[in-house]
Amino acid sequence: MVMKTILLCAFGARYSHSSLALLYLRQAAPGLPIRTAEYNINENPSEVIESIISFAPDAVGFSCYIWNIGIVLKVASAVKKLLPECAILLGGPEVSFDAPVLMRSHDFIDIIIHGPGEAPFRCFAQSFCRGESITSTPSACIRTDGGFVETADIKPLSLADIPFVYDDLSPYANKLIYYETSRGCPFHCAYCLSAETSLDFLPVGRVVRELEFFMRNRVRQVKLVDRTFNYPDSRAREIFSALIDLSAKYPQSRTNFHFEISASLLTNETLAVLAFAPPGLIQFEVGIQSTHGETLRAVGRSHSTPALMDRAARLCAMANLHVHVDLIAGLPLETSDTFAASFNDAYRLSADRLQLGFLKLLKGSPLRAKTDRFGIVYTDDAPYEVLKTASMSYAELRRLHRIESLLDTLYNDRAARRTLCLLTVQCPPYDVFNRFAAYLEGQGFFTRPQALASLYEHLYAFAPGLPDIDVATLRESLAFDWFSRQSTDCPASFSLPQTNEQKAFTHHFFADANVVSRYLPNTGQTVRQLQRRCRIAFFSRLFGSPAAVLFDYGQKPDLPGFWQIISSEVDL
């Protein structure tokens, strides 16, 4: 008997993303003619449609999320028109909560599986590939000649029952690897789909073996999708300790592991273990979301905020770790003033990244059922982002979007880290960003694309209006930030013209092989090559005394050695 074939498709948000869901589904139905194809939402839909058609599948399944549902529906509709006998299957969180509504409005959809997909997909695939009826597929809404059939839910497969899915890493060169050690979450945040899910864990021994596989094969980054990896704390500590031991076993590995954790669960014992992690091994994402008590209670976050912030601060202070902290704008009962306090609290943690997101009213989330109570208005289409609330107007949220843009460029992308340090000495961080955003609005900055140089020049024009800003120091800090990003000359407004003595210093520095080798060892490059690779800039105020700073563009900007003071007396 010739079996029918299934093609499983996923659309990532960008090329570097891969789909863990497709691998799980394929492993759940071994021995069946199931293939996978991965695309991203930035691809030309016509090219994707042509690619799918070239497989000549009997069924096509799509993994659906808020970031890809638009292109999924467009592509699936076209596939059905081109292959009328091809069954269209959807699954994933974006289609799990209103399947009948979606199928009534999109007649090309034949079946939607809701909830964890492995067990119901196994049943579907076993029946479909053998040419049998799929109407008994559990956890599904199925189109039939008589209408829709909604079937009873099936117990999800345990994580431990799903084999390791990454035996072959060849398709994932230059891509993120997603990995899961647990499902569910111990918390009940009202905006999250994990609020109502039960917990399921892989055995620690298996986790360690599989993480070792990634290190042994020098995978660039493994992003763990566990909603709260450090629950329970003892389990997480055991895995962190094993990773640290493995880093000594594989010293040539540069694999980075990204974990989402709750700082409220961190203990002294775990922090002590993390202190021994080598730089680059571990990266954390810590959800602060808000520090406003009423808001936290409204969304079901019951932790002690002072304790959480203390532990987050201790984590951020560990130079061997890379830490992101998250805030959410538009939460219930949050006003501009309380959000400003949350922003300042999070900013002062000095995390490597401060990520400002906006509330999404996800299908199936408890908060979506409470929008009237909190006056939340959100977009009709995915990603269902908040437009306004009873406590925060549309205009206030638009301002926060502009602050987010500035935060990403100036802080997260490190375009003006040193200048921001100067500006926030006497002025609260939120006030700096808010006032700068208002200034840029007045200049029409956000109405058209702008070069980075334009943002620097606007910052130089704006910043003297803040408290106690010395313009000469401001000029130097902006020049330092500029040279930390690129080797080209600064914009004229804050350039640092060199004296004849400084030019002579630069000439003599590169002409003296002994001096060069002290600061730039083992480069194997000629003087001319080093002059092209490096820049020397001179600062009279920024470091407290005159200093010549060597920027080495052959190094990564975030790593030690990218810049160094080569003399505290520029006239030597």
Span of 149-163, 187-201, 212-226 with lowest mean pLDDT: 187-201
**CB crowding 245-268: b at 16 or more within 10 Å, else e:** ebbeeeeebebbbbbbbbbbbbee
Per residue in 64-104, pLDDT (tens digit) is 999 999 999 999 999 999 999 999 999 999 999 999 999 99
As a whole number, mean pLDDT of residues 4-11 equals 98
With contact defined as beta carbons under 8 Å apart, do 281 and 243 qualify? Answer: yes
Q: Confidence band (pLDDT; 50, 70, 90) for 571?
A: very low
Confidence (pLDDT) at 568:
56
Per residue in 262-276, pLDDT (tens digit) is 999 999 999 999 999
CA–CA dist 210, 163 (Å, integer): 11
User: What is the enclosing helix (H) or strand (E) of 49?
Assistant: helix 45-54
Q: Confidence band (pLDDT; 50, 70, 90) for 522?
A: confident
As a whole number, mean pLDDT of residues 290-295 equals 98
Tell me what the pLDDT averaged over the chain comes to: 95
Provide CB contacts within 8 A for 106, sequence distance 6+: 73, 76, 77
- Phi/psi for 223 (5° steps) reads -105, 115
Confidence (pLDDT) at 73:
98
Per residue in 180-189, pLDDT (tens digit) is 999 999 999 9
Q: What percent of the chain has pLDDT over 70?
A: 99
Confidence (pLDDT) at 570:
43
**DSSP letter for each residue of 178-222:** EE-SEES-SS--TT-GGGGPPPEE--HHHHHHHHHHHHHTT-SEE
CA–CA dist 49, 503 (Å, integer): 60
Per residue in 100-128, pLDDT (tens digit) is 999 999 999 999 999 999 999 999 999 99
pTM, two decimals, is: 0.94
3-state secondary structure 334-359: CCHHHHHHHHHHHHCCCCCEEEEEEC
Query: Above 80 in pLDDT, residue 200?
Result: yes
3-state class (DSSP) for residue 148? strand
Query: Above 70 in pLDDT, residue 421?
Result: yes
Confidence (pLDDT) at 350:
98
CA–CA dist 156, 133 (Å, integer): 22
Q: What percent of the chain has pLDDT over 90?
A: 91
**CB crowding 74-105: b at 16 or more within 10 Å, else e:** ebbbbbbeebeebbbbbbbbbbbbbbeebbee
With contact defined as beta carbons under 8 Å apart, do 338 and 295 qualify? Answer: yes
Tokens of 20: 């863990």
Query: Above 90 in pLDDT, residue 155?
Result: yes
With contact defined as beta carbons under 8 Å apart, do 478 and 431 qualify? Answer: no
> CB burial class (10 A; 0-12, 13-18, 19+) of residue 231?
buried
